[in-house]
Structure 1
């Protein structure tokens, strides 16, 4: 097993936070109106970006794992009485993960020392 590197810590922390918030009962925040799908997109975009930083040699397989994680979370929500399964959430999660990964690949082409 490889030792945890400091550059991987933000990814694991964000993965824990996204997972925790995804399985806890949803909370309405008064005065805060932002589309649920935008939040899904941004959360998985962030996961993909930090995955790229944490595991720069992992390649597209790690992006696929982030996408599959989002699908898995939605399947878990299907079983929870306080959450709801939505195909559009899967789409938003997947698009966010793929967008984050592509952004990082593009940035690395511009600045190879990025990762």
Structure 2
């Protein structure tokens, strides 16, 4: 299909902006995760959504910005980001560490890695 090749061309063309977006989202996530007061969450599921959605978006942006990173490097670096946020939260008296956040981070990471793997599989099949 031509669509997959077009997406790959767009990824290459817009790569500098994806790099900026990746680091901007990383900085925002680190700021929100490490500041003394938590972001507002009216429901318990919202905190998990912040964690999982943030790591999911970072996973996709990391591929768009740094496509040559192997999957395991992407997984290790983004897992370390999630663990670092939880570690810093445990040091703030107004924040708390929650295992649900680690599970949400891991879920967002795995879903992102699966989408990237599927995309790369389709590209390899078309090239063959």
TM-score category by the smaller chain? 0.7 to 0.9
| Counterpart residue number, 2:86 | 74
Provide the aligned C-alpha RMSD in A: 2.1
Selected match of 1:88 from 100, 103, 109: 100
User: 1:1-115 maps to which residues of 2 (within 5 A)?
Assistant: 6=16, 7-24=18-35, 25-28=37-40, 33=43, 35=45, 36-60=47-71, 61-111=73-123
- TM-score norm. by structure 1 comes to 0.81
Rate the CA distance shift 1:27–1:58 in 2: closer, same or farther, 3 A: closer
Per-residue CA deviation, residues 33-82 of structure 1 (Å, 9 max, x unaligned), is 47121221111100111011111011121222101210111011000122
C-alpha distance in 2, partners of 1:64/1:56?
15
* Superposition deviation, residue 94 in structure 1: 1.5
- TM-score norm. by structure 2 comes to 0.74
Kindly name which structure, 1 or 2, has the bigger radius of gyration based on alpha carbons: 2
Task: State the aligned residue count.
Answer: 107
2:32–2:39 Cα contact (<8 Å) kept: no
In structure 1, runs of 5+ residues without a counterpart are: none
Per-residue CA deviation, residues 59-109 of structure 1 (Å, 9 max, x unaligned), is 121222101210111011000122111111111112211211221221232
Rate the CA distance shift 1:27–1:41 in 2: closer, same or farther, 3 A: closer
Higher helix share: 2
C-alpha distance in 1, partners of 2:39/2:28?
15
C-alpha distance in 2, partners of 1:85/1:34?
14
Structure 2 SS opposite 1:75: helix
